[in-house]
Amino acid sequence: MMTLRELMDKVDDASSIGRVPPVSQIIETDSPVVAAEKMRNDTDITIYQNGYVLYRKESRATVFPLHRCREYVEKSVTEKDFEVPFEVFADQPWQIRVVIEGEKRIIHNINALQNYFKHCSYNAFLEEGSVLSDEGKGDPLRILIEEEARNEENEELYSILDSLTERQRFVLIQCVVNGRMQMDVAKELGTSRMNVTIILRYTLNKVRKIYGVKHNNFRQNHFYRPAE
């Protein structure tokens, strides 16, 4: 079994490259496959000579440089961050660290979309003149009902994301989660800005139905915050 360190020695270091290529570009690349693994839970991992990892789980996919799979840090709000040094993973089978990274990135994308759309839904709720009340906030039945509603929303969101094409998901993630300009995304996809706008409107209109958000509430990206 090849270790993570051995695999890193066999591929190029793409960690310093600014833009990570989209899934479609990685699939069509001429770069040879250095390693691949098919997991039992519908997860496929492909490592290319150019240093990129294509991580696919069911209909979701993410791309990242292999050399970013070094130490793992688990952020904590209330306690000290938990860090696992790179040395712990270096001489273990490469799949361990790559799966951790792939799962983290897919979960991040899903959570980021959920936070964004829920924020827009909350704004729409306030704009309609509704008044929030603290009465019964700690009621177990209310908590149970709210939790069940959140679970149903999550299932609906997953279902809609699964129904999108790879291209539609890429536009949604890049424009909404990563806050990129539509023109930049259009150039990366080799298409026009108008096409990206159409794709974005279509995907947002599908997702907004879950949260009952009006179309004009998506004009401003309330989730993305540029790095300072």
Is the confidence at residue 43, as pLDDT, over 60? Answer: yes
Q: How confident is the model at residue 124 (pLDDT cuts 50, 70, 90)?
A: very low
Domain ranges for the chain, please list them: 4-104, 107-218
Residues 207-227: tens digit of each pLDDT:
766 555 444 444 444 334 344
Each residue of 158-176: b (16+ CB within 10 Å) or e? Answer: eeebeebeebbbbbbbbbb
**Residues in Cβ contact with 112 at an 8 Å cutoff, skipping those fewer than 6 apart:** 176, 177, 223
- pTM for the whole structure: 0.56
**Alpha-carbon distance 150 to 208, whole Å?**
15
Q: What is the average per-residue pLDDT within 113-139?
A: 49
Is the confidence at residue 69, as pLDDT, over 90? Answer: yes
Six-digit token pair at 148?
Answer: 């069940």
Q: Give 138's DSSP letter.
A: T
| pLDDT reported for residue 133 | 38
Six-digit token pair at 19?
Answer: 């833009």
Q: Give 3's DSSP letter.
A: B
CATH topology of domain 107-218: Butyryl-CoA Dehydrogenase, subunit A; domain 3 (1.20.140)
Q: Collapsing DSSP states into helix, strand and coil, what is residue 93? A: strand
Q: What is the average per-residue pLDDT within 94-120?
A: 80
| pLDDT reported for residue 21 | 85
Six-digit token pair at 130?
Answer: 């509704």
> Do 101 and 12 contact (CB within 8 A), yes or no?
no
Is the confidence at residue 146, as pLDDT, over 70? Answer: no
> Do 49 and 11 contact (CB within 8 A), yes or no?
yes
Each residue of 185-208: b (16+ CB within 10 Å) or e? Answer: bbebbeeeeebbbebbeebbebbb
Six-digit token pair at 212?
Answer: 């009952």
Question: Dihedrals φ, ψ of 77, to 5°?
Answer: -80, -40
> Do 32 and 49 contact (CB within 8 A), yes or no?
yes
